[in-house]
Chain A
Amino acid sequence: EVQLVESGGGLVQPGGSLRLSCAASGLTISSNDMHWVRQPAGRGLEWVAAIGPAGDTYHAGSVRGRFTISRETVKNSLYLQMNSLTDGDTAVYYCTRRAHDAFDIWGQGTVVTVSS
């Protein structure tokens, strides 16, 4: 069974940092187009970042320079390093795979709360 499991969310103060992880099973992270998508409570989906099979990375304008997507082949895991967090970054963060130009596999999400 293909599964993505996020972790690393929590409560952090404004200006702080957090690193999210996404562990994959039944799927090889480094062979796939992997993304982070977030959803503030009660609101819609927002694309955050992507990393392609070749290691090319892309970040949404709202997080560029603050967030960094990466992966670790040995651990078959995806990461999102988040720095200089603001309350606008409060959301559920999902790890997802893009295939056939759509997000076909999603994790259960991890909650990030930025508050003093």
Chain B
Amino acid sequence: QSVLTQPPSMSAAPGQKVTISCSGNSYNIGNNYVSWYQQLPGTAPRLLIYENNKRPSGIPDRFSGSKSGTSATLGITGLQTGDEADYYCGTWDSSLGARVFGGGTKLTVL
């Protein structure tokens, strides 16, 4: 059971928009930055969003992040088949004294 809660799977058509949620509590998301990662099949995770809503260089603006209270959201617009991947949220948990991740959301673009 992951500390952060994500929907296990989501699907949407090419060109559409999807939002992936990540729910926590005051010890983690509520008082810390959230980051998001994309993991394509058979590859290492890649950073998409840091400090809740900032994109590293090279990440297209189709990807966006937001945070409100103890929840965070990853948005992806103009879906492409290449966006099919697992997506993870992550943050620091002060009660556990550990970095924590969500269980991951498998995105299908069909």
Contact = CB atoms under 8 A, between A and B. Distances in A.
A80 B25 CA distance: 31
Contact of B47 (A94, A103, A107): A103
A47 B99 CA distance: 6
Given A60-B98, A94-B45, A103 B37 contact: yes
B85 interface: no
Given A101-B33, A103-B37, A46 B101 contact: yes
Classify the interface of chain A: helix, strand, loop or mixed: strand
A108 B88 CA distance: 17
Interface of B: 2, 32-33, 35, 37, 43-47, 49-51, 54, 56, 88, 90, 92, 96-104
B101 A104 contact: no
A94 B101 CA distance: 14
A101 B99 CA distance: 10
A94 B47 CA distance: 14
Contacts of B99: 35, 37, 47, 50, 98
Interface in A35-81: 35, 37, 44-47, 50, 58, 60-61
A102 interface: yes
Nearest to A50: B99
Contacts, number: 60
Nearest to A62: B98
Contacts of B45: 45, 94, 103, 106
Contacts of A106: 44-46
B88 A45 contact: yes
A101 B101 contact: no
B97 A102 contact: no
B90 A103 contact: yes
Contact of A102 (B35, B100, B103): B35
A56 B82 CA distance: 40
Interface string A100-116: 11111011110000000
